[in-house]
Structure 1
Amino acid sequence: MIDLSPVITTVAGAYNETTFFLAQQQEGGPLGPEFGKASPVGLLIIVALLVAILTLGWMFHRRWSRMNRRRIFAERHGLDPFDIEGVRKAMAEAGLNEKNKKDFL
């Protein structure tokens, strides 16, 4: 049988030296009162993403509500909910014209 203990010790020793070397603090680098401060561009990006997410949520809510309203109307009047023109015409005849609402897009 082959004795692998010297090989394991050498690999473990090399691993410990590498870990010690990687964990040491680097010399020089960005130091001073301005190090680590964020720029206003980051805040601008976060605000833009927040506005985009809120706008998408608002648009989804309007579309979901409109689709749900059309589905309920179609079920109550015995129409096929997938017949878009038929439901639109029946809603217009019932006085529930959705064209009065302004579309965002």
Structure 2
Amino acid sequence: MSIPVTDHLQTLALHAQSALVIAQQQQGGPLGPEFGKASPIGLTILAGMGVLVIFIGWSLARRYSRYNRRRVFAEQHGLDVFDVEAVDRAMAEAGVLDQRKKRWF
């Protein structure tokens, strides 16, 4: 049983017409003096994210410089870099141990 070609063309035309109706641009969109303006909350979020990135960079630089000081001290004194207790003890005896409170970040 075969379907005539005209039925296929009618079905195709119906699908094309429905796709055209769906794809048409809506006429009642958000227009007016307030359309496209950013809110102050967006600026606040961006500023907060900028401050956070700067803080993370500063914190990472601090941690890296402390690590580098400990590594250089351990290598100069023939200690194992990964033996934290021995390096802390040797740095305390030498008077160069950083006694500041360790931060949570």
Q: Shorter-chain-normalised TM-score: which range? A: 0.7 to 0.9
Q: Deviations over 1:55-105 (max 9, x none)?
A: 111111101110111011101110001111110111111120200x45444
The Cα shift of 1:25 comes to: 2.9
The question of 1:67 aligning with 2:53 is answered no
CA RMSD of aligned residues (A): 2.9
The one-letter code matched in structure 1 to 2:62 is R
User: Residue in 2 aligned with 1:29?
Assistant: 29
Distance 1:92 1:18, change over 3 A: farther
Deviation beyond 4 Å, 4+ runs, structure 1: 16-23
Identity level (%): 54
Structure-1 residue corresponding to 2:3: none
Q: CA separation of 1:75/1:18 partners in 2, compared to 1, >3 Å: closer, same or farther?
A: farther
TM-score by length of 2: 0.74
Structure 1 unpaired stretches of 5+: 1-6
What amino acid is aligned across from residue 87 of structure 1 in structure 2? Answer: V
Stretches of structure 2 lacking an aligned partner (at least 5 in a row): 1-7
Per the normalisation by structure 1, the TM-score is 0.74
What letter matches 1:79 in structure 2? L
Residue pairs, 1:46-85, within 5 angstroms: 46-85=46-85
